[in-house]
Structures are given as C-alpha cells and as structure tokens.
Amino acid sequence: MELEINKDLIEQIELLIENQNDTDILELIGEEHHADIAEILDELNFDSATYIIKLLDSEKTSEILMELDEDLREKILENLSAKEIAEEIEELDSDDAADIIGELSEERQQKVISQIEDEEHAADIKELLAYEDDSAGSLMAKELVKVNENWTIPRCIKEMRLQAEEVTRVHSIYVINNHDQLIGRLSLKDLLIAPAKGDISKIVRPKVDSVNVDEDLEEVAKIMQKYDLEAIPVVDDNDVLLGRITIDDIVDVIKDEAEKDYQMAAGISQDVEADDSILELTKARLPWLILGLFGGLGAVIIMEGYEDIMTNPRFSKLFFFTPLIAAMAGNVGVQSSAIIVQGLANDIVKGSLFNRLLKEVGLSLINGLVLGLIVLLVSPLMNVDFLFSLTVAISMLCVIIVAALIGTFVPIVLDKRGIDPAIATGPFITTSNDIFGIFLFFFIAKLMLGF
C-alpha cells in the first residue's frame, strides 16, 4: 500500500522525534520505499531529517540521500563525519557514490574516500570524479557483468554469479577479449539453450551499441532513446570496456536538460530554483531583462520617428494597433523557434535550411492571411475605414512572415555554431521581433497611407 504523506503524518513523525521514540519511528517508516522516506525528510526541518538519517541503517539511508533535495542533502552531509559519509557511500553503486562525493569540497572528498574500506570501490569513485562534467564517463557506473570470449559456458555462468552480487540490476552481459576490449554481448536465452560444455565464443552477438567515455551526455541520451536501450556500455578510444550507463541516470539527464531549456526559454540564464537566494535569482534573470529593456527602448526610438502622425487625427489610430503588431510578432517568433529548438533537441531537424525557411514562409502566409481576414472583418465594428484596416492586415501578414523566419533561422544558426538554441526562444526572439514588427508596421503604413 502506498504511503500517504500528509500534514498529519509529518506532525506524528515530528512528535516521535521530539520524544526520541525510535522504535515507533522505525515501525512507522522503516520499511517504506526510500523515495517515500526522502519525500518525508524534505517536509521535515533540518534537525529532524538528520535525526532520521542517523537512525536508519546505511543501506537504506544511502538510497534516501540520492532522492533528497540537493540543498537538504548538502546540509545533512555537512553534519556527518567523513566516516559516516563513507559508510553511506559504500552501499551505493559507483556512479551514485561519485555524485554525492562530488558535491563535497576537494579536501572533504579526500577524507571520505580514505575512509572507504573497499579499496576497489574507492578507486572506481576517484576515476569517475576525474571525468569532465556532462561526459559519459561522469555518469557511468563501474558495476557490470562481463565475460571473456575464451571462457566455457560453465565458467561463464560461475563468473556471472560472482559479478552479479555487486550489480544492483543486470541489464546486459558484455563480452570482452583478452585486452578488455568490448567485442559483443550475450543473450540470456542463447546462454540457457547452449550446449553445457560449449564455448561462449559460439553464441556471442557481435553487434553492441556503445558510447565513448568522452561523449556528451545529450548525445548518449539520443542514442539510448533512438535504440530503446535500458543500458549502454562505455568504452575508451581503444574500445576497452570501462562501465555502463543505465536508463534511470539518462532520465535524470533528460529532465535536467528540459528544465534548463525551459528556464533559458523564459529568459533565465543559469540553473536556479525557487528556493535559491535573491542574489542568485537576480543574477539569472537580470541579463535578459536588460536585453528586453534595450529592445523596448529601440521600439520607442522607432516610434519617435513617426511621432508627427500622432497629431494627425486621420492616422493617430495607428498607435493603438502597435501592441497588436508587437504581440503577433513575438508570439509567432516564439512558436517557430520553440518547434525548431524541440526538433534540434530530438535530432529531427535535417535537410536544407532554405527548404525549412520556405516551409515557414508558406505556413506564415496561411496564418497571416487568416488573421488579416479577421482584422478586416472586425475593423468595421471599431469604426476603422477599409484602407486603414487593410494596412493593418497587410502589415501584420508581413510581420508574421519575418517573425517566423527569425524564429526559424536564429536557433538553427546558433546550433550550428555550438550554442544552445534554447537561448533563442525567450526574450531574445520576442524582443527582436517586437522591434522588427513595429518598424515594418509603420514603414508599410507610410507607404500605403501616404503620411
């Protein structure tokens, strides 16, 4: 039965902690899933969360730590000794252990690693910490099941049993040669029906997808998504098998990347959360707000060039339509850029840039004609004469086309230059299209109305 986490449960746990009733605490939550306990700890104050962490056994709390909010985990780790952290680390796979230790200062990392009794585990963690962030090496786990191509099937099964004791979940069985190079994989079905005294070289499946240890994590995610892989082996430049990346870690990468792109699209230039300090939030938001300010000032300068029409009763109504033009330009630009950014992220934007732009022009013509027709139909209700409403409709059509082209062109160019195209979808596109939109509106209006 799923644990219902509500205010009453939290108050009950806090009361038990206050009375130091360890037996009832363990009876209440001791057997619950680590993710549920982590959710409970996130609701408790820091002292209460630390109390429970120290109460539960290391096998349980090591998994709980991985699920906690980063800020709470950081505070808890600060209040644990190097020995206590090492005890938690020893219960985790190497990739998760490296993630937690990586959050500590370099000095504390060394102290914790020196307290890990399993020397091989400690060496694996140190190796993972040495890889660049956002590389396959930084995310891989060293724990896996591998067999040598020269082994007999009985020896293979024996070795697999020994190795599997150290692996949380066995996704694949990898086959290596005498130089530890990855040459294939084994199917459990093939292994079960193979002759008892045969060699595994007879049943090796040579085709196995792998990634280089220096591969970018976004590329790893694309490969695993494309081929529906639950795990993928990681090799070095000589095809030596180093570790594996599992789907649960890749899901976290996809989630983090989606959150980053969402924030960038909203004009937030660095990774922040709602609970971060005012200074951090300001640093993340202010740069794009400044860009928006200058964009707005640019629009003001353009409008000042046509200020003489404000005194002309015949044309003064033009200024009432500027919010409409600016809004349509911004909306269309963001729509176009959002589709392109999504396509680039999923690696489905291919082919000629010219063809892509031509397609956007066609789409913009259809949308612009429909929206322009609506303006023509609604204008008589606003006491706007036909020539004036036609001017607005044609201006809006041109603005929509230009906005769509900018929204398409800019993300593709940024991507080709190695810049995250998500940066184009927010204030950048909106601001630039506002300026172009207002300029085109008054320019076309001047040509058609002759002021």
Question: For residue 1, is it within any domain?
Answer: no
Confidence of residue 123 (pLDDT cuts 50, 70, 90): very high
Q: Are residues 71 and 119 in the same domain?
A: yes
* Number of domains the chain is built from: 3
Range of the domain at 354: 278-449
Question: For residue 64, is it within any domain?
Answer: yes
Question: For residue 255, is it within any domain?
Answer: no
The mean-pLDDT minimum among 77-86, 195-204, 306-315, 333-342 falls in 306-315
Residue 74 belongs to a domain with what CATH number? 1.25.60.10
Which of 106, 140, 136, 365 lies closest to 246 in space, CA to CA? 140
Q: Are residues 323 and 397 in the same domain?
A: yes
Give the CA count within 13 Å in the CB-facing half-sphere of 331.
11
Q: Are residues 375 and 440 in the same domain?
A: yes
Q: Are residues 340 and 428 in the same domain?
A: yes
Q: Are residues 317 and 439 in the same domain?
A: yes
Region 156-173: mean pLDDT is: 84
Residue 382 belongs to a domain with what CATH number? 1.10.357.20
Task: Among 134, 162, 187, give the residue marking a domain's end.
Answer: 134
Question: For residue 251, is it within any domain?
Answer: no
Q: Which helix (H) or strand (E) holds 66?
A: helix 58-67
Q: Are residues 129 and 168 in the same domain?
A: no
pLDDT of 446 higher than 90: no
Q: Are residues 204 and 317 in the same domain?
A: no
Q: Are residues 314 and 167 in the same domain?
A: no
Q: In what order do the strands lie in the sheet with 173-176?
A: 145-148, 173-176, 182-186
Where is pLDDT greater, at 136 or 329?
A: 136
Over the stretch 322-350, which tens digit does the pLDDT of each residue have? 888 888 888 888 888 877 877 776 666 66
Question: For residue 408, is it within any domain?
Answer: yes
Q: Are 48 and 20 in contact (CB under 8 A)?
A: no
Check residue 410 and give its pLDDT: 82
The runs of H, that is alpha helices, within 116-242 are 119-129, 136-139, 153-164, 188-193, 217-226
Confidence of residue 423 (pLDDT cuts 50, 70, 90): low
Residue 157 belongs to a domain with what CATH number? 3.10.580.10
The mean-pLDDT minimum among 140-154, 195-209, 273-287, 335-349 falls in 273-287
pLDDT of 171 higher than 80: no
Q: Are residues 327 and 440 in the same domain?
A: yes
Confidence of residue 271 (pLDDT cuts 50, 70, 90): low
Q: Are residues 367 and 444 in the same domain?
A: yes
pLDDT of 433 higher than 80: no
Over the stretch 354-382, which tens digit does the pLDDT of each residue have? 777 788 888 888 988 999 899 889 888 87
Check residue 379 and give its pLDDT: 84
Q: Is residue 242 classed as helix, strand or coil in its secondary structure?
A: strand
Query: In Å, what is the CA distance from 336 to each residue of 252, 331, 341?
Result: 27, 9, 9
Where is pLDDT greater, at 264 or 343?
A: 343
Confidence of residue 161 (pLDDT cuts 50, 70, 90): confident
What is the residue-averaged pLDDT of the chain?
84
Q: Are residues 70 and 46 in the same domain?
A: yes
